[in-house]
């Protein structure tokens, strides 16, 4: 029998989840579907290293956080959009 991992959520995470608007929940579900529902998302990820000016990266992280996004996810979205 294969053991399954159990995911535990902090009280803070659960409280933040309760405060999500229906628009934010719908956006999360759509992003999850797009990320995990396509063949493109099933490809392996590759760890890369690149030099970015600190002030640019800091600003990017702040803006991503203000929009409720992870900054690395936003970088990948920008890359996908650019390829279209």
CA distances 58 to 14, 19, 43, 55, 67, Å, are 27, 27, 29, 5, 14
| pLDDT at residue 45 in the model | 85
Q: What is the pTM of this model?
A: 0.49
In the predicted model, is pLDDT for residue 74 greater than 70? yes
% the chain with pLDDT above 90: 43
Which range, 4-8, 40-44, 67-71, is most confident? 67-71
Q: Which residue matches tokens 């702040």?
A: 62
Mind listing the pLDDT tens digit for each residue in 40-59? 546 788 899 999 999 999 99
């Amino acid at each position: 029998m294969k053991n399954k991992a159990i995911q535990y959520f902090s009280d803070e995470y659960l409280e933040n989840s309760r405060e999500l608007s229906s628009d934010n929940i719908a956006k999360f579900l759509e992003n999850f579907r797009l990320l995990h529902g396509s063949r493109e998302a099933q490809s392996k990820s590759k760890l890369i290293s690149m030099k970015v000016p600190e002030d640019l990266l800091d600003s990017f992280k702040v803006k991503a956080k203000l929009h409720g996004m992870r900054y690395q996810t936003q970088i990948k979205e920008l890359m996908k959009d650019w390829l279209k």
